[in-house]
Amino acid sequence: MGKTIIDKLWESHVVAKEVNKPDLLYIDLHLLHEVTSPQAFAGLREKNRKVRRPDLCFATMDHNIPTVDRFNIKDDTSRLQVQTLEKNCEEFGIKLEGLDSLQQGIVHVIGPELGLTLPGKTIVCGDSHTSTHGAFGALAFGIGTSEVEHVLATQTLWQNKPKQMNVKIEGELGYGVTAKDVILWFIANYGTNAGTGYIIEFSGSTVRDFSMEERMTLCNMSIEAGAKASVIAPDEKTFSYVQGKTYAPKESEFNEKCEDWKKIVSDSDAVFDQVIEINASDIEPMLTWGTTPSMCLPISGQIPAAESAFSIEEKQSIESALSYMGFNGHEKLEGVEVQHVFIGSCTNSRLSDLIEASVVVEGEKVHPDVRAIVVPGSQSVKREAEGLGIHKIFLDAGFEWRDSGCSMCLGMNDDIVPEGDRCASTSNRNFAGRQGKGARTHLVSPIMAAAAAINGKFTDVRSMLQTKNPEVDRYVGI
Amino acid sequence: MSGFKTLTGKAASLKRDHVDTDQIIPKQFLKKIDKAGYGEFLFYDWRYHSQGQENPDFDLNKEETKGSSILITGKNFGCGSSREHAPWALKDYGFHIIIAESFADIFFNNCVKNGILPIRLSAIEIQQLYTDRSVSVIPHLTVSLENQQVVNERGDRFDFEFDPYWKNMLINGWDEISVTLQYEDKIKKYEFERIVN
Ligand code: SF4
């Protein structure tokens, strides 16, 4: 029987295999940030332990930092957390891209950008969206702080091999439909539980046609479908993305590596525990209406009413989501007014996301009742966008143009949505209170967010794109 | 960490599905750099109204649930972020066992690493834990990890599955890192072979 990508990645990292035990897996790259690491370092210190391979660790600060006036962290506890990471990295000899670094950014944006994320690696981070790195054919998953400590001390983790799911997406996406819509559609149709206990391989022509940045968006939100991780077979696009990046292998070594990486594909006779087939042409621009990512509909949709539920539990969850989100049920999504727009987060803050959104924004003005911010995923993305003049398009339209960080994705810094306000957000979680207590989050793609900023309400971005550039029959990501 | 054997205690129920880690411990409480003292912030937005006064309708604020050591909940408990602050808060509050229909993967691991026992039972079994369904009497349960069994006051027994390795770890209260450090030779060998190949 053939092997899947997941089998291959798994088997090549097993350090020890014993009966009645999980496998001991070797970890090739450990990414760290300020929020989930302090207690792990404290644990090491308490037991007088060292970091086994500081050279395989890499740290940045992103969750808790300001996106304006970044060196002036007003909140004492936030500042302490940032200083603690600096101190820990210094003491244990770990490379850190701190606030003053030109490479600083959201951990899942800078890993790929710096060529740390490579095909074939096992990658962990104390952050659930580590699944993002699977877009490169890496086995990448989020871990808790105890596991962070374990990896620091041993460079390994005890893991039971999850089940495997192949999600095949075939065909061409419609005009104005993006990778974000694909993953939202998947979660809307299969639920936040669909991937629990699984690693997903995304395959099919739609995925192959995706750029690396689109693939990252897809893998990023696989955790919202409950999956432990997700992977995509690396191909020429992957190799050319990686080539020349700071920490990527150089020249002859690079070519050798490419030959190895080409083997990271699922064999044609490989067997998955579950296969889901999706037709790309079924997918429309999506947005969430409720408080879990599966409470999500096409822009043409109508918010459900509690009566439509199949069970008492579902009725209760619809009722509580409706009341939190300020809906009665039966409203049309198109036309729902928003007060905030956030373009950012590790899901959608890369250069192509900003370029796509800027196409919608160009020559327009942000609606007077909307406060809109763009938070590039990294300082590099910010500089590149500025090099292309993208920031001017946003600034001229009335957007705020910020420094990089997690920002309004989780509102640990000052970037918070006030109680009762609605936010069109390109991030990944719409849980109650995520963007601020009582904040109402609607997850959308960058172009849908841009359209909401201009119109002050949700609209079908496709009609805006049509009038802007009637030549384009499908808005293609970069 | 001390070992986990058998526990008898009062069970509070939080009958909701998809309780995410942002609800278990909201992000404003993640800024600390130690592991202690998160219990008072557990389910913060549900437990307290905007001005900080207690919400009397929230399950855990009801007098009869006070002092519970077991939490009974629904599907996909602990979904969302990897924050270990969630199990730290649950444990600090006093919960040692969580019984749910299903758990998010990372959260499940995080519980085990912190000496909290996460138990999966079916929806029907969870219903049957309550000996009297007409009045919401708080059940007292006895949980044995050794026998992988939950027993209610009526004596109904419910078996649950548990990974043998993590079971051992929990029962013995082992420090996992010390266990792994005994594999140093194998880790070295692996690293060496990777460089050579
Ligand atoms: S951007 Fe949001 S989801 Fe991504 S790492 Fe930061 S907080 Fe987590």
**Are the beta carbons of A147 and B114 separated by less than 8 Å?**
no
Query: Which residues of B, range 128-157, sit inside 8 Å of A by Cβ?
Result: none
Judge contact between A125 and A142, C-beta under 8 A: yes
Domain that holds residue B149: 8-163
Query: So what's the pLDDT on residue A103?
Result: 95
Cα angle, residue A116 at apex, residues A251 and A107 outer, rounded to 5°: 155
Count up the domains in chain B and report the number.
1
**Are the beta carbons of B105 and A162 separated by less than 8 Å?**
yes
* pLDDT tens sequence across A41-63: 999 999 999 999 999 999 999 99
Widest distance between CA atoms in chain A: 65
Between the CA of A406 and the centroid of ligand 1 the distance, in Å, is: 5
* pLDDT tens sequence across B49-91: 878 899 999 989 988 888 999 999 999 999 988 899 999 999 9
Question: What domains, with CATH codes, occur in chain A?
Answer: 5-274 (3.30.499.10), 286-475 (3.30.499.10)
* pLDDT tens sequence across B53-63: 999 999 899 88
Q: What percent of chain A has pLDDT over 70?
A: 98
Cβ of residue B163 closer than 8 Å to a chain A Cβ: yes
Closest C-alpha residue for ligand 1 atom 6? A406
Query: Which residues of A, range 373-432, sit inside 8 Å of B by Cβ?
Result: 410-412, 419, 429, 431-432
Q: In the predicted model, what is the mean pLDDT of residues B108-120?
A: 94
Cβ of residue A33 closer than 8 Å to a chain B Cβ: no
Cα angle, residue A67 at apex, residues A61 and A71 outer, rounded to 5°: 70
Which DSSP letter does residue A272 get? -
Give the pair of three-digit tokens for residue A91.
């003491």
Question: What is the interface pTM, i.e. ipTM, of the complex?
Answer: 0.91
**Are the beta carbons of A432 and B45 separated by less than 8 Å?**
yes
- Tell me how many residue pairs between chain A and chain B have CB atoms under 8 A apart: 157
Q: Is residue B190 in some structural domain?
A: no
Q: Is residue B81 in some structural domain?
A: yes
Q: In the predicted model, what is the mean pLDDT of residues A340-348?
A: 98
Q: Is residue B84 in some structural domain?
A: yes
Q: Is the pLDDT of residue A477 over 50?
A: no
Q: Is residue B178 in some structural domain?
A: no
Judge contact between A191 and A160, C-beta under 8 A: no
Query: So what's the pLDDT on residue A329?
Result: 95
Angstroms from B17 CA to nearest CA on chain A: 8
Angstrom distance (rounded) from CA A452 to CA A370: 9
Q: Is residue B187 in some structural domain?
A: no
Query: So what's the pLDDT on residue A232?
Result: 98
* pLDDT tens sequence across A268-317: 999 999 999 999 999 999 999 999 999 999 999 999 999 988 888 889 89
Q: In the predicted model, what is the mean pLDDT of residues B179-192?
A: 96
Burial (CB count within 10 angstroms: exposed 0-12, middle 13-18, buried 19+), residue B57: exposed
Using 50, 70 and 90 to split pLDDT, how confident is the model at A472?
very low
Q: In the predicted model, what is the mean pLDDT of residues A129-134?
A: 98
Using 50, 70 and 90 to split pLDDT, how confident is the model at B2?
low
CB within 8 Å of A320: residues ≥ 6 apart: A291
Query: Would the pTM of this model clear 0.90, i.e. be above it?
Result: yes
From the list B68, B86, B81, B69, the residue with the least C-alpha distance to B24 is B86
Cβ of residue A305 closer than 8 Å to a chain B Cβ: no
Q: Which residues of A touch B105 (CB under 8 A)?
A: 162, 196-197, 226, 228
CATH of the domain at B108: 3.20.19.10
Q: Is residue B146 in some structural domain?
A: yes
Q: Is residue B185 in some structural domain?
A: no
* Whether the CB of A224 sits within 6 Å of ligand 1: no
Q: Is the pLDDT of residue B133 over 80?
A: no
Angstrom distance (rounded) from CA A38 to CA B35: 9
Q: Is residue B196 in some structural domain?
A: no
Residue of A nearest to B164 (CA): A20
Query: So what's the pLDDT on residue A222?
Result: 97
The per-type count for chain A, helices as H runs and strands as E runs, is: 16, 19
Give the pair of three-digit tokens for residue A181.
């819509």
Cβ of residue B187 closer than 8 Å to a chain A Cβ: yes
Which value, to the nearest 10 degrees, does the dihedral of the CA atoms of residues B27, B29, B33, B39 take?
A: -130
Residue of A nearest to B123 (CA): A313
Judge contact between A137 and A45, C-beta under 8 A: no
Q: Is the pLDDT of residue A142 over 70?
A: yes
Lowest mean pLDDT segment, chosen from A382-396, A458-472, B97-111? A458-472
